[in-house]
Amino acid sequence: MSARAVSVVGATPSPLGTISALLATDLHLYGESLGSALPPLGVAVIAVVSDASTALDCLRAREPDVLLIDMSMPGAPELALTLRADGPSVRIVAL
């Protein structure tokens, strides 16, 4: 695999050199665009979800390295605050 790992502060790349990411946005085109643009950069998008509740479920089930979250999505600010308070290992990137 010739993918280049993306440097994300605090995230540890997997042995294959990729970082796993969950993309949470309610904007369909935005999700599709980012979902296809990130893999060539070494970011494995494990799922694209469109609401905060599904994002939380997916975070618990899949444990990605990074959460890319559209902060204009309903429930996103509350989800980010919940994750910060719980102190999980996932890094949050606000979009």
The gap between the terminal CA atoms of the chain, to the nearest Å, is 28
Residue 88 pLDDT grade (very low, low, confident, very high; cuts 50, 70, 90): low
Q: What is the mean pLDDT of residues 31-58?
A: 92
19, 13 contact by CB (below 8 A): yes
**Tens digits of per-residue pLDDT, 10-42?**
444 455 568 999 999 999 999 999 999 999 988
Amino acid sitting at position 31: G
**Tens digits of per-residue pLDDT, 61-70?**
998 999 999 9
Model-level pTM? 0.77
**pLDDT at site 17:** 65
In this model, does residue 5 exceed pLDDT 70? no
In this model, does residue 49 exceed pLDDT 50? yes
